[in-house]
Amino acid sequence: MFEFFFGHPRSLYSKGEIVLLGGWPWWVWLLLALAGAAGLGFLIHRRMRDAASGLHGWRPYVIWALQSSMLAGVLLLLWQPSILVSTLKPQQNVVAVIVDDSQSMMLKDAPGDATRLDALKQSLGGDVLNRLGDRFQLRVYKAGNRAERIKSLDALTGQAPATRIGDVLEQVNAELAGLPLGAVLLLTDGADNSGGIDFDTVAEMRARRVPVHTVGFGKEVSGRDIEVVDVQVPARVLADSRANAAISIAQHGLSGRVVKLSIRESGKVLAQKQVTLKADGQVQTENVLFNAGDVGAKSIQVTIDKVDGEENVRNNETSRLVNVENTKPKVLYFDGEPRWEFKFVRRAMEDDKSVKLITMLRTTQNKIYRQGIENPSDLESGFPAKVEELFGFQGLMLGSVEAGYFTTAQQELLKNFVDRRGGGLLLMAGRSSLSEGGWNRSSMAEMLPVVLPDRKGTFQRDPATPGLTAPGVDSLLTRLIENPAQNMERWKKLPYLADFQDIGTPKPGATVLAEMNAGGRAGMPLLVTHNYGRGRVAILATSGTWRWQMSQPLEDKTHEQFWQQMLRWLVTDTPGRVQAATPRQMLFDESKIRLTADVRDKTYLPAPDARVYATLIGPAGSGGQIELQPDPATPGTYGADYTIEKPGSYVAEILAKRGDEEIGRDVITFERKDGVAESFRTNQNRDLLTRLATQTGGQYWSPADLKKLPDEISISEAGVTVRETRDLWNIPAVFLALLGLRAAEWLLRRKWGVV
Amino acid sequence: MGGPGKILVAILVLAIGGTMWAQRRSLRELADEEDNPAPWPADAAEKTEFVFARLRYMARRNGYFGRGGGAWSTDYPKADRQFVQGARRLTRLHVRSVEQVISLDDNEIFDYPWIYATEVGRWDFTPEQAAKMREYLLKGGFVMTDDFHGTFEWSVFADGLRKVFPDRSIVDIDNKDAIFHVLYDLDERFQVPGIQLFYTGQVWENDGYEARWRGVYDDNGRIMIGICHNMDLGDAWEWADLPQYPERYASLAYRVGVNYIIYSMTH
């Protein structure tokens, strides 16, 4: 339609420059138009006296405006308005045609139950490719992970395991760097598996002024489909720990349906959850807890049961790796006086084989009773005063102890334990705790998640009834029952706490997981957490959870569960001296992985002078050893790229040394899976294709419009071009506009009775 | 003072008096059953971490009733109040100055994880009481028994205990057990006599010639019941302020009591 009225395609107007080819300057036209308008105004004014009665008020001005516009328009045609545009010189330019050959192109959602690839061949293979070939030198590629040049469309099989549009564009651009590349035609469903197209690739195309024309295939919205969009699980957990899987799902056509989410390991169901699907296209995230089990690398499968009529069930399942670590982190619990909470926390941890609890109790002014130590000399001198001694623990709990009990150096050490070492710290209420113990006026106040009250009398031995906040309902720390609503109710029914403390106001960024009604006040913070530096700090505003043990049935394990979760929270994310990482543990049809390691010395300061090696073991046995190189921008950080040759699970042991001295080691697991990626995000990603075309000066095309492309693709500033002018005076829109002005005047005159 | 003033004063007196009375009642001061009265401390109402809880159990023949009848109240309350003064001085434990009398007939017992029971050579339990005692101990409660002597009283004690734990053994506590070292090293323990020492010159009663330090352990190797047989630690606490009572006995009795409490708060 646009082309009918305006004589040229829309892209010509968007890329071309409007010029006046007439010999006279443009201001002459402007003067003449103004003079004509003035003359018309004068004539109309003179004749107003004799005019019919219908022409009064604002009406003469309308007539004047229409006639003036008509005159200006006719005059403009004398200046020969044209459009100036760069076009590709015939036979002197290369056009790259990139055809998606991935498995998602085999989905049968094209008209007539044809595959996307069939539709593509039909659209491109007939006249279009020949017409393009007549004008340009064609380079046709099939695309998957890489681009591969083909001679004809018959070479397309739809079997490539993934689509990486960015990589393919980058490759084609590089291959054709020495040739006059005039345009790129990309035919795909846009279901990119690399998470998008990076800015550098787009910038490079723009720099060469190469327009990328995109043609989208496949439905933009599925019929009925559920997809596991993403699953976030902790890369490492302690043995027999509960871990949280944050599962993001999206669906179309099944809103309101209840489906079952399952987490399995080697076929064994670890956890299940009934989920009500939200609105179409909305990504919803469900948290599911599961027990990580024994030590070892576990491949966790997340599945949604198939729903009747679902078109694509391959995207209902995905997997992640969880490394269940063979470590036993240590927590030091120091209390300033004998308290029941101390005893019952110790008892709660006796059944937990994953965390070792070492306790120190000030029984008298000068005596400290130590439990859980390995040697009689351990902690003999009291609370650790040396960095190596304190940093040997992963978690720290402080009971009823004054801030002043610690020396200035120990206070600094405590802060560094959290900030630099990345440890977890729990402060518990008590008659010498927090504000009662002067913590509010100590240098340690800055690491706390609350602003403590600046007064005494905050600790009271009176009942407090606990309850969860909204963040607490889903927290791994406070989850007593899997079902969030039931968990909330469970907390409400817990026996009252033996005492409570006013811990003041949570700081910005802190999370209140539980609150309490106590001392006539409702909603007082009970359990508050936040991150400080590399570590974590929590405050529990009571020392009276022991009543949960004594006042509930013998079989009830709430108290044990709460404290086991609490101590695991303290230590789970505490890093060792060598901390290995990868951006992703599951690689779907990818072969490159970046291994990084954060290496610290004994005091947990970055160690920039280490030698770091990764020893890899893959499905075929040893995968060799590579050295990680230091990152000059981040001291203590080392990295290396590794190419995964074959699909399967891999274990990388990262070893850091300084001379002959071993600094530490860490193990990380990752897995390459092929043939999976193309089952996900299978809808046509029109948004991505439109953006790519727009940002490079190209255009998004639907398959039906593809026949026009050979004509329009020649409008380009890349390659070998020629400047062309196209007339505008003879386009139908001009004629219709002038005719419209006259017709409007005539109709108005008719209406006003002044014809 | 006019009529309205007098009325106001009367109301105040009644209110304050009523509150004090209620306070004393809530602390279970059982004046009628006191064996050896002691002054009511000014800070009796203080809320503390630890409370000396005395078990008011049913004696085999006399039921609950004390002062020559009920056994539970032997040395009560002077021994209790005098002992806690020592515990306050010797440790960092926050201790209430008065005891709390508790029974197995309600659930209050679960708020007191340490209990002292004396003259247990006469104790007895109904099935419900035995079940409650068993639940209390398995949850983490601790019972210290004292002041029973000789073969006969042992058999009565053991009968009562069998109702609580039919299958659990009573064993001699090893010298290396933490209960004897948690605060004081009590390697050298001896028989602590009761006040009968003054009348008879003997440190033993009945045929209990030798002090036996025994216990009942839970499945994790923790002592649930500390059994002090053939000794009278309660008398040693009670008469510690009597110049004639030998200091060495009182001293050991205090150290044993403190160790048993600290043990129960750490294990």
| One-letter amino acid for residue A327 of the chain | T
| Distance from C-alpha of A733 to C-alpha of A742, rounded to nearest angstrom | 14
- CA-wise closest residue to A345 among A334, A336, A354: A334
Task: Let me know how long chain A is.
Answer: 755
Number of Cβ pairs closer than 8 Å across A and B?
A: 79
Mean pLDDT within A436-453: 98
pLDDT at A340 over 70: yes
Decide if A549 and B140 are in contact by the 8 Å CB cutoff: yes
Q: Which residues of B touch A340 (CB under 8 A)?
A: 49, 113, 265
Between β-strands A356-362 and A330-335, what pairing exists: parallel, antiparallel or unpaired? parallel
Residue partners of A225: CB distance under 8 A and separation at least 6: A251, A252, A253, A254, A310, A311, A312, A315
Q: Which residues of B touch A369 (CB under 8 A)?
A: 182-183, 262, 266
| One-letter amino acid for residue A6 of the chain | F
**Residue listed under structure tokens 């006249």:** A127
Element (H, E) at A128: helix A127-135
3-state DSSP assignment of residue A133: helix
Provide the mean pLDDT of chain B.
Answer: 89
On whether any CB of chain B is under 8 Å from the CB of A549, the answer is yes
Decide if A338 and B50 are in contact by the 8 Å CB cutoff: yes
pLDDT at B19 over 60: no
Torsion angle, CA of A690/A693/A694/A696, rounded to 10 degrees? 160
Distance from CA of B266 to the nearest CA of A (A): 5
Distance from CA of A560 to the nearest CA of B (A): 12
On whether any CB of chain B is under 8 Å from the CB of A364, the answer is yes
Decide if A337 and B49 are in contact by the 8 Å CB cutoff: yes
Residue A336 confidence (pLDDT): 98
Decide if B266 and A549 are in contact by the 8 Å CB cutoff: no
pLDDT at A646 over 90: no
Mean pLDDT within A382-407: 97
Q: Identify the residue with better confidence: A339 or A712.
A: A339
Decide if B265 and A337 are in contact by the 8 Å CB cutoff: no
Residue A131 confidence (pLDDT): 87
Would you say A703 and A680 are in contact if contact means Cβ atoms under 8 Å apart? no
Decide if B264 and A362 are in contact by the 8 Å CB cutoff: no
Instruction: Tell me the DSSP string of A358-380.
Output: EEEEE-SSS-EEEES-SSTTTTT
Order of all β-strands in the sheet with B114-118:
B100-102, B53-55, B114-118, B142-146, B223-229, B212-217, B171-172
Q: Identify the residue with better confidence: A127 or B188.
A: B188
3-state DSSP assignment of residue A254: coil
Instruction: Tell me the DSSP string of A218-247.
Output: S-SS-SSEEEEEEEE--SEEETT-EEEEEE
- Evaluate the CA torsion angle A199, A200, A202, A206 in order and state its sign: positive
Rg (CA), chain B: 20
- CA-wise closest residue to A95 among A211, A216, A215: A211
Would you say B149 and B192 are in contact if contact means Cβ atoms under 8 Å apart? no
Mean pLDDT within A54-70: 85
Quote the percentage of chain A above a pLDDT of 70: 99
Element (H, E) at A409: helix A408-419
pLDDT at B20 over 60: no
pTM, two decimal places: 0.76
CA A590 vs. chain centroid, Å, equals: 19
Would you say B52 and B86 are in contact if contact means Cβ atoms under 8 Å apart? no
Mean pLDDT within A379-393: 97
Residue B17 confidence (pLDDT): 47
Residue A716 confidence (pLDDT): 78
Distance from CA of B108 to the nearest CA of A (A): 9
Residue B63 confidence (pLDDT): 58
Decide if B140 and A347 are in contact by the 8 Å CB cutoff: yes
Q: Identify the residue with better confidence: A587 or A642.
A: A642
Decide if A461 and B48 are in contact by the 8 Å CB cutoff: yes
- CA-wise closest residue to B259 among B114, B120, B155: B114
3-state DSSP assignment of residue A267: coil
User: Which of A333, A334, A340 has the highest number of chain B CBs within 10 A, making it the mutation to test binding with B?
Assistant: A340
B56: left (phi over 0), alpha (psi -120 to 50) or beta: beta
| Distance from C-alpha of A194 to C-alpha of A163, rounded to nearest angstrom | 8
Q: What are the tens digits of pLDDT across the range B220-238?
A: 999 999 999 999 999 999 9
User: Which of B115, B139, B258 has the highest number of chain A CBs within 10 A, making it the mutation to test binding with A?
Assistant: B139
Q: Which residues of A touch B94 (CB under 8 A)?
A: 337, 431
Decide if A338 and B261 are in contact by the 8 Å CB cutoff: yes
H-assigned helices in A475-545: 484-492
On whether any CB of chain B is under 8 Å from the CB of A367, the answer is yes
Q: Which residues of B touch A346 (CB under 8 A)?
A: 266-267
Quote the percentage of chain B above a pLDDT of 70: 85
Would you say A128 and A709 are in contact if contact means Cβ atoms under 8 Å apart? yes
Element (H, E) at A418: helix A408-419
Give the nearest chain B residue to A337 (CA atoms). B92
3-state DSSP assignment of residue A6: helix
Across A461-574, where does the E strand assignment appear? 464-468, 500-501, 505-506, 511-518, 521-532, 535-540
b/e map A423-460, b = 16+ CB within 10 Å: bbbbbbbbbbbbbbbbbbebebbebbbbebbeeeebbb
Residue B10 confidence (pLDDT): 55
Order of all β-strands in the sheet with A395-398:
A368-371, A356-362, A330-335, A395-398, A424-428, A535-540, A521-532, A511-518, A464-468
Task: Give me A601's structure tokens.
Answer: 């010395």
Decide if A550 and B140 are in contact by the 8 Å CB cutoff: yes
- Evaluate the CA torsion angle A737, A739, A745, A748 in order and state its sign: negative
| One-letter amino acid for residue B133 of the chain | M
Encode chain B in three state secondary structure: CCHHHHHHHHHHHHHHHHHHHHHHHHCCCCHHHCCECCCCCCCCCCCCCECCEEECCEECCCECCCCCCCCCCCCCEHHHHHHHHHHHHHCCCCECCCCEEECCCCHHHHHCCEEEEECHHHEECCHHHHHHHHHHHHHCCEEEEECECHHHHHHHHHHHHHHHCCCCCCEECCCCCHHHCCCCCCCCCCCCCCCHHHHHCCCCECCECCCEEEEEECCCCCEEEEEEECECHHHHHHCCCCCCCCHHHHHHHHHHHHHHHHHHCCC
What are the two backbone dihedrals, phi and then psi, of residue A626, each rounded to the nearest 5 degrees? Answer: -130, 155
Q: What are the tens digits of pLDDT across the range A176-208?
A: 888 888 889 999 988 766 656 777 778 888 888
3-state DSSP assignment of residue A67: helix
- CA-wise closest residue to A383 among A338, A421, A342, A414: A414
Residue B64 confidence (pLDDT): 60
Task: Give me B113's structure tokens.
Answer: 């994880």
Q: Which residues of B touch A554 (CB under 8 A)?
A: 135, 138-139
Residue A90 confidence (pLDDT): 82
CB atoms < 10 A from the CB of A750, how many?
10
Q: What are the tens digits of pLDDT across the range B33-83?
A: 889 999 999 999 999 999 999 999 988 766 565 444 468 999 999 999 999
* Residue A178 DSSP class: T
Q: What are the tens digits of pLDDT across the range A494-543?
A: 999 999 999 999 999 999 999 999 999 999 999 999 999 999 999 999 99
| Distance from C-alpha of A682 to C-alpha of A315, rounded to nearest angstrom | 9
Mean pLDDT within A3-26: 82
Residue partners of A512: CB distance under 8 A and separation at least 6: A469, A471, A472, A506, A525, A526, A527, A528
Residue A633 confidence (pLDDT): 93
Distance from CA of B229 to the nearest CA of A (A): 26
Q: What are the tens digits of pLDDT across the range A284-335?
A: 988 888 888 888 888 889 999 988 878 788 889 888 888 888 889 999 999 9
| Distance from C-alpha of A248 to C-alpha of A277, rounded to nearest angstrom | 11
- CA-wise closest residue to A190 among A312, A124, A104, A283: A104
Residue A469 confidence (pLDDT): 98
Task: Let me know how long chain B is.
Answer: 267
pLDDT at B152 over 70: yes
pLDDT at A406 over 60: yes
A160 — pLDDT class (breaks 50, 70, 90): confident
Would you say A354 and A240 are in contact if contact means Cβ atoms under 8 Å apart? yes
Between β-strands A611-618 and A621-630, what pairing exists: parallel, antiparallel or unpaired? antiparallel
Q: ipTM of the predicted structure?
A: 0.91
